Amino acid sequence: MGKNVAQKLIESHLLSGEMKPGEEIGIKIDQTLTQDATGTMVMLELEAMGLDRAKTEVSCQYVDHNLVQTDFKNPDDHLFLYSACQKFGIWYSKAGNGVSHPVHMENHGIPGKTMVGSDSHTPAAGSLGMLAIGTGGLEVALSIAGHPFYTTMPQIMGVKLTGKLCDWVSAKDVILEMLRRHDVAGGVGKIIEYYGPGLDTLTAMDRHVIANMGAELGATTTVFPSDEATRLFLKQQGREGDWVELKADSDATYDLHDEIDLSKVEPLIACPSSPGNVVPVREVKGRPVFQAMIGSSANPGERDFAIPAMMVKERKAKDFVSFDINPSSRQILQNLTVDGHLSSLISSGARIHQPGCNGCIGMGQAPATGKISLRTNPRNFPGRSGTKEDSVYLCSPETATAAALTGEITDPRDLGMDYPKFVEKESQERVESLTPAPEKPGGNLIMGPNIKPLPSFDPMPDHIDGPVLLKTADNVSTDAILPAGAKVLPFRSNIQEIAKFTFYLLDPTYYERAMKYQTQGSIIVGGENYGQGSSREHAAITPRYLGVHAVIVKSFARIHRKNLINFGILPLEFSNPDDYDRINQLDELEIKNVKKMMLDADELEVVNRTKGESFKVKNTLSPKERNAVLHGGLINIVLQGGEY
């Protein structure tokens, strides 16, 4: 039987386990990606492990999130990250070089390679025929140190693409169509692999858009073949020698199936406040818009800026619309300048920002109160923009630009203009902006006053007994657990300080209440898809620091579940989801003989002492995961010289 691309990638890197859905596998990792919002913890973890140098083929540290320098914290962290790269032998991309994912594609993406990244949109590299998986920082640190990456073998969902996109419809609409069909948890436990004749009409950067936002489906990763489109992209970057062909066999099969006729896709938009709340643009047209933002990891290609530039050439954005342009890389900015597109954007009244994540992560560009913001970003979780009561819509560059011109949500097909024709150049003007990994790593870490060592955590107690300090609804994101933004993320290297913002968006009193139970311990109860979104492990570290011993939910998002395990928090799922309704916030829960039950049982009993009743929860941890929780986290195992 033939193999699909995902199977070929996994099989060529398989170190342990069997490629059967649900089985734990260990794979060799060739490359790693870290960004500054999560990378500082990775470097502190490498220091705690005593690593001498990176063991991977390529490891890269990007500074793209925390660019706002309102005081010393962010620049101190940038200097710390540079010193860590020099010490451990890691490539460094300084502030202003651009968003990690497109910059990595430009410089280091190679078909057939594996990569893990401490950013949930790491799967964007799947657009080049890589197996790229987003995960918590500690697992990235372990990969840098040469350890295998362990995960549950996913199901592989084949999505056949046929036809060709119509004018005014682009790759963003394709992934929005997937989200319309499958919502934010539809990809959990799956690798999504695209194939079929429709692929021939999509460039490598079109595929990047789709692979990037596969994270919003909850997918483990997204995979595309390495074909002529991949070769052309690498040729454009002066790296055609890195190209290898990687395609599914003609008789390849998939565990699950879907099919999209590209010619039938129309302009789509994700309404507040979920990437899965997708409707046709025509259904919400006419709503007044006060911000239109172009550029993010989800729409980073030159065409995503060039087409808006051609749309606004010799035209003006509405005076009351903030038309924000976030170039995705220094190289893209250079090429927009050379090709004259930057001039068109500037003349239209657009605001040109430095290459980076910027408003996508809440670093500036917050929308006005109660006003609609259209963005080409991958996420619109509540409050992520920096405005608590935000109204963020996700859409294509075409739809966002149409709104900038009209001042209201507009189907771009109704503009009455010809669709701009963008043709990929055979070669781009290259900008060599990364600092190579030193041949002889070494030196000392430069640590400013806000950078603190990783807190130490005790092993799992044999008896969990504490109050439910918070009960959450479905689809709670890591942004809600530990917010991002200009106010919070500068404390990313200081767990004691950033912990004060834990669950702040859901309950501003949580930190003060949790500190009273920091020693005794407490419990969180949640609904479906708990912990969706960003891979930031701070959303697990800070609850652990505040004394959370267990999180009981209906279901977990993959990365957050693993982050909880990595830092010694027991993740449990209701055996009967209806039991969720029988628990109130502040109920006192108890789990006896935790260590024995974790090792011997697939189901545990939880006693609700407040109500005088009990319920069952599923223990879905693998042997390795149980070992990690019992030790109080993976890093304790590593520091004790144990086997991971």
State both tokens at 245. 């062909």
Give all domains of the chain, ordered by start, each with its CATH number: 5-264 (3.30.499.10), 269-414 (3.30.499.10), 464-639 (3.20.19.10)
Whether residue 63 contacts residue 36, with contact meaning beta carbons closer than 8 Å, is answered with yes
Tens digits of residue pLDDT in 300-311:
999 999 999 999
**Could you give the CA distance from residue 328 to residue 100 in angstroms, rounded to a whole number?**
9
DSSP 8-state assignment for residue 457? -
| Residue 94 CA, distance from chain mean position | 20
Strand partners, 573: 553, 618
Please tell me the predicted confidence (pLDDT) of residue 485: 85
Please tell me the predicted confidence (pLDDT) of residue 427: 84
| Residue 80 CA, distance from chain mean position | 23
- The helix/strand count (H/E) of the chain reads as 20, 26
Which stretches in the chain have pLDDT values below 50? none
Please tell me the predicted confidence (pLDDT) of residue 643: 66
Query: What is this structure's pTM?
Result: 0.93
**Could you give the CA distance from residue 133 to residue 124 in angstroms, rounded to a whole number?**
9
**Could you give the CA distance from residue 488 to residue 501 in angstroms, rounded to a whole number?**
7
Please tell me the predicted confidence (pLDDT) of residue 644: 64
Whether residue 375 contacts residue 369, with contact meaning beta carbons closer than 8 Å, is answered with no
**Could you give the CA distance from residue 454 to residue 461 in angstroms, rounded to a whole number?**
20
State both tokens at 60. 């890269």
Strands 24-27 and 14-16: antiparallel
Find all residues with CB under 8 Å of 67, minimum gap 6, and list them.
74, 95, 96, 354, 356, 357, 358, 363
Tens digits of residue pLDDT in 438-468:
999 999 999 999 999 889 899 999 999 999 9
Please tell me the predicted confidence (pLDDT) of residue 598: 83
Please tell me the predicted confidence (pLDDT) of residue 642: 65
Cis bond upstream, residue 385 (ω within 30): no
Tens digits of residue pLDDT in 84-124:
999 999 999 999 999 999 999 999 999 999 999 999 999 99
Please tell me the predicted confidence (pLDDT) of residue 426: 84
Whether residue 253 contacts residue 3, with contact meaning beta carbons closer than 8 Å, is answered with no
Please tell me the predicted confidence (pLDDT) of residue 414: 97
DSSP labels, 289-324: EEEEEE-STTS-STHHHHHHHHHHTT----TTSEEE
Please tell me the predicted confidence (pLDDT) of residue 550: 97
Whether residue 402 contacts residue 415, with contact meaning beta carbons closer than 8 Å, is answered with yes
Please tell me the predicted confidence (pLDDT) of residue 558: 93
SS (H, E, C) 217-266: HCECEEECCECHHHHHHHHHCCCHHHCCCECCCCCECCCEEEEEEHHHCC
Please tell me the predicted confidence (pLDDT) of residue 385: 86
DSSP 8-state assignment for residue 456? P
CB atoms within 10 A of CB 508: 10
